[in-house]
């Protein structure tokens, strides 16, 4: 399964695509999109949209996972973030890809094991989970990869789907009962 993660932002939008067979994850591509500081806000949104649309066409993921808005420093920054999320959702919709959204605490819990983890902790776990030489930087890139990994680890992700297809529902038990 190929999952494209997006950490939307009006100044810089992080993206990351991973391929997962369930147990192992492999980095496909990652980076961030940013318009020049002299660009107007509509030009910034256009740059995000065009960049994401081009990347989605090139990498051809199975789905897109996006970080949800949970709070912002001000109403103005929340509105700008909402616009950036809307542009990201539009790019995924135009590519005819399913979109799944996750709350920041849910993403941190799936990747680090703690919903209030700090950004450096997320970066280090992404480095370990993907077997990278260095932690992804800037943090927007690590956050986008974390969103993709969260989807794979979630109940709607590839791992859960594989497990459901292998075992009848009546035989599913608690993780505590698992014996390899």
- Whole-angstrom CA distances from 101 to 12, 37, 85, 165 are 19, 28, 11, 24
3 state DSSP class of 121: helix
Catalytic (active site) residue 106: no
Q: Is the torsion defined by CA of 133, 30, 163, 104 positive or negative? A: positive
Q: Take residue 53 and report the two structure tokens written for it.
A: 């649309």
* Catalytic one of 46, 50, 101, 140: 140
* Catalytic one of 46, 50, 67, 143: 67
Region of residue 155 (left: phi > 0; alpha: psi -120 to 50; beta: else): alpha
What gap in Å lies between CA 157 and CA 139, rounded to an integer? 23
* Catalytic one of 7, 46, 62, 143: 7
For residue 17, list its beta bridge partners. 4, 29
Catalytic (active site) residue 67: yes
- Residue positions annotated with a catalytic role: 7, 67, 140
């Amino acid at each position: 399964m190929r999952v494209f993660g997006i950490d939307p932002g009006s100044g810089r939008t992080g993206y990351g695509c991973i391929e997962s067979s369930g147990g192992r994850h492999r980095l496909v591509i990652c980076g961030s999109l940013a318009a020049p500081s002299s660009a107007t806000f509509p030009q910034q949104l256009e740059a995000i949209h065009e960049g994401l649309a081009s990347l989605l066409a090139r990498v051809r993921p199975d789905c897109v996972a996006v970080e949800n808005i949970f709070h912002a420093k001000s109403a103005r920054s929340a509105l700008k973030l909402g616009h950036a999320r809307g542009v990201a959702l539009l790019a995924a919709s135009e590519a005819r890809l399913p979109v799944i959204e996750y709350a920041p605490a849910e993403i941190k819990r799936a990747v680090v094991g703690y919903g209030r983890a700090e950004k450096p902790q997320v970066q280090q776990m992404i480095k370990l989970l993907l077997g990278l030489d260095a932690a992804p930087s800037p943090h927007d890139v690590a956050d986008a990869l974390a969103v993709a990994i969260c989807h794979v680890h979630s109940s709607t992700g590839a791992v859960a789907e594989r497990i459901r297809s292998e075992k009848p529902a009546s035989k599913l038990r608690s993780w505590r009962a698992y014996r390899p």
